[in-house]
Amino acid sequence: MTDYTVVGTDELPPGEHVVVQLEGRLIGVYNVDGEYYAYTNWCPHQGGPVCEGALDGTTEITFDRSCLERSTNWVKEDEILRCPWHAWEFDILSGEAMHDHDVRLISHETKIEDDNVVISL
Ligand code: FES
């Protein structure tokens, strides 16, 4: 594995992301509440540029069998990455697809060194 310094922490405030090119691959680097995440800009659905999508929330539907009531809630605000091609949703904290937890984005280890975000490939 090789470590790459990609961006200063002061250049990537919470809620922001950048896309960088490393070893011929585009990598999206995200700051979510001070934690950093990095994913290859490739959607496991049909290879779309997932890191060009928006960070948003998603709708969660629950069903109470005892009273047969359904409720709809907006959850995970700014923690869902939505692919711009067909709107598949991914949890930015884990890279898992919201509809199938066996489907994941390609993630990369991140760490902070000297106030810089470093990615290992
Ligand atoms: S390529 Fe991303 S949802 Fe289809």
CB-ligand 1 contact for 86 (6 Å cutoff): yes
- Ligand 1, pocket-test mutation among 43, 58, 81, 82, most atoms within 8 A of CB: 43
Chain centroid to CA 29: how far? 8
Would you place residue 40 in the very low, low, confident or very high pLDDT band (cuts 50, 70, 90)?
Answer: very high
The confidence score (pLDDT) of residue 114 equals 97
* Sign of the CA dihedral running 42, 47, 49, 51: negative
The confidence score (pLDDT) of residue 41 equals 98
pLDDT tens readout for residues 49-106: 999 998 999 999 999 999 999 999 999 999 999 999 999 999 999 999 999 999 999 9
CB-ligand 1 contact for 49 (6 Å cutoff): no
CB-based contact 44:104 (threshold 8 Å): yes
Q: How much is the mean pLDDT over the chain?
A: 96
* Domain boundaries 3-120, CATH class: mainly beta
The confidence score (pLDDT) of residue 88 equals 98
Give CA–CA dist 17/13, Å, rounded.
Answer: 8
Q: Residue ranges per domain, the chain?
A: 3-120
The CA-atom distances, in angstroms, between 1 and each of 14, 34, 37, 105, 120 are 27, 24, 17, 19, 6
- The mean pLDDT of 34-44, rounded to a whole number, is 98
CA of 115 to the centre of ligand 1 (A): 34
Give CA–CA dist 26/22, Å, rounded.
Answer: 6
CB-ligand 1 contact for 76 (6 Å cutoff): no
Give CA–CA dist 35/66, Å, rounded.
Answer: 39
CB-ligand 1 contact for 46 (6 Å cutoff): yes
